[in-house]
Structure 1
């Protein structure tokens, strides 16, 4: 089941969200964090970065539930500049390593796209490490590569730089 999490349900979801983020970083997900990365660091991300966006309406947070637990999540962050009312960013598609290959990432992205349509967002933008397997999912969902930036981010597990790909989906 995919749902949009609101601030009212955030505290009840916090342990699952923390566990997903921590596990994903420790299995090499390039989502802005590097090792060492503790559960406390993961929890701080959700409470300090995501909760304020939920409270202000500055982002939508989607969760994939299975067997009563959240096993995946993704965020949609609508652009705020006056010349971009049609655009939103896709951020931090995470599926717990133990729950991958079950369609949760795809289901989360489909829910995000439905919400984007409700809000009149016709341009979706994201970036992903060029070698990340999620790039295949995004391409299957109709996202196209706009370009690649070399040495964009540090590998979360090793001290080396990697390229990132910027991708977009124009739904107009």
Structure 2
């Protein structure tokens, strides 16, 4: 497994692969903010719009491949707030693994990389939301995230049904001062 962080210059080179991953995730029923019909052109446009956030340092994006030149099989991002009173925290967003690569530890690997990078950057608190009852809940629970609670009817899933969303957080140890 090879996990790398993207910068805005690298985004165009993997745009088609990220669009395929996002489309596959939505088609697979995961609630990641989009509902069908959702095609690769819309997925590519969404990723293209992230370039400015990546360039500004407000979004960190990692991708995972099995081999250095292999296809992108998964991704995870950290969104950093721009307000002075919230610079100690970040939101974990868009943890996705292609359906053909699930069950191989890629999501856990991506989660570990994002958590480690956050701690190295001085982030001491992470938070996320996920569809209640989704497979992602098992991952977050087993990775030491704390379930805060659920909000009913928070978001529509890809089938258009309103579903509850569970909020999680995780405290991180800041690296020791040198």
Same fold (TM over 0.5): yes
Structure 2 residue aligned with 1:107? 109
SS at match of 2:38: coil
Name the CA distance, whole Å, in 1 between partners of 2:120 and 2:155.
33
TM-score by length of 2: 0.92
- Stretches of structure 1 that go unaligned for 5 or more consecutive residues are none
Q: Deviations over 1:43-98 (max 9, x none)?
A: 111001x1111111111000001241110000001122211121000000010011
Matches within 5 A, 1:152-171: 152-157=154-159, 159-171=160-172
Is 1:52–2:52 an aligned residue pair?
yes
SS at match of 2:73: strand
SS at match of 1:111: helix
SS at match of 1:28: coil
Is 1:131–2:136 an aligned residue pair?
no
Structure 1 residue aligned with 2:64? 64
Name the CA distance, whole Å, in 2 between partners of 1:57 and 1:82.
15
Name the CA distance, whole Å, in 2 between partners of 1:25 and 1:39.
11
Name the CA distance, whole Å, in 2 between partners of 1:129 and 1:54.
26
TM-score by length of 1: 0.96
1:12 to partner: Cα distance: 1.0
Q: Which has the higher mean CA deviation after the structures are superposed, 142-151 or 76-85?
A: 76-85
Structure 2 residue aligned with 1:151? 153
The number of residues matched between the two structures is 170
1:11 to partner: Cα distance: 1.1
Runs of 4+ in structure 1 over 6 Å off:
none
1:140 to partner: Cα distance: 1.0
Structure 2 residue aligned with 1:79? 81
Is 1:3–2:33 an aligned residue pair?
no
1:117 to partner: Cα distance: 1.0
- Cα RMSD over matched residues? 1.0
